Amino acid sequence: MAWFLRSKKNIEDSQQREMPDGLFTKCPTCDEVIYKRQFEEQLFTCIKCNHHFRIGSEEYIGIIFDENSFTETDTNIRSSDPLNFVDTKPYTERLADAYRRTDSADALTIGYGTIEGREISFGCMNFDFVGGSMGSVVGEKFYRAAKRAISRKTPLVIISTSGGARMQEAIFSLMQMAKTSAVLSELAEAKLPYISIMTDPTTGGVSASFAMLGDVNIGEPKALIAFAGPRVVEQTIRKKLPEGFQRAESVLKNGFLDMIVHRKDLRATISHVLMLLT
């Protein structure tokens, strides 16, 4: 199992994260040149057009938690390959590659910490780990985060970003939708708040299970939030998709989000909602 012993993170390799690799970066939406220091101050959003760059759990933890209050848990569980799945390459190779390229233990990081002094149980997905796909490890970690919320009587806050189910875990990945939703029904019975934050993109098995089930659903600006991705929809209906289709702003208009929150207001908004719900 030597592939667990990867070297420290190598952010240059993970292009899906849209992170700058030098002193400045260019906004993919408006071409604005943003300097690295400014970029970090802006919480990885564009100073000109508010484009929210894709970031990972490490950055979100820095954004929403009280300083040094976060403890990551359950870092020791790893995807196995129950079906010996092989497509154009074996699943084990894809996993090894993901461990090498990212600093994540899977597509979901969980733990606990405080936001303005209030303890929460927390999970944040990592899109750069196999497209943020949900397999058994994501399901189990979500389950443990929810169970921790129940046993500690704290709120649960989850930040999602996912291309959907992890196909290489086939039926096991489908059943994670059931597993995560089932534990949320326990959380609901315990009358504990669950805030779901959907970032770009939140689709497929994740949107059709725990991501859409928040007591309060929050979207990041312009985030793609969908069941079927736009390409699949386009192929099915063979029509051009309307402007803004499946973007957070239209999902809000259609009634499936409570609000859209700029990343710089995320911490304060979570705190505000929890203050009134607990």
Give CA–CA dist 244/221, Å, rounded: 11
For the record, the structure tokens of 202 come out as: 């939140």
Give CA–CA dist 177/136, Å, rounded: 10
Minimum CB–partner distance for residue 158 and another protein (Å): 13
For the record, the structure tokens of 117 come out as: 């002094």
Is the separation of the CB atoms in 200 and 52 below 8 Å?
yes
Q: Among residues 117 and 242, whose Cβ is nearest to another protein?
A: 242
Give CA–CA dist 43/60, Å, rounded: 9
Closest CA to 194 of 181, 204, 208: 181
Q: Name the site residues for another protein (rule: CB under 8 A).
A: 1, 4, 76-80, 82-83, 85-88, 135-137, 139-140, 143, 165, 167-179, 181-186, 188-189, 203-205, 207-213, 225-228, 232-233, 236-237, 239, 241-242, 245-246, 250, 254-256
Minimum CB–partner distance for residue 63 and another protein (Å): 25
Q: Among residues 113 and 214, whose Cβ is nearest to another protein?
A: 214
**The tokens 């970031």 sit on which residue?**
55
Q: Among residues 117 and 239, whose Cβ is nearest to another protein?
A: 239
Amino acid identity at 137: V
Amino acid identity at 253: K
Give CA–CA dist 194/209, Å, rounded: 13
Beta bridge partners of 120: 113
Minimum CB–partner distance for residue 50 and another protein (Å): 24
Minimum CB–partner distance for residue 197 and another protein (Å): 15
Minimum CB–partner distance for residue 85 and another protein (Å): 5
Q: Among residues 56 and 163, whose Cβ is nearest to another protein?
A: 163
Q: Among residues 171 and 276, whose Cβ is nearest to another protein?
A: 171
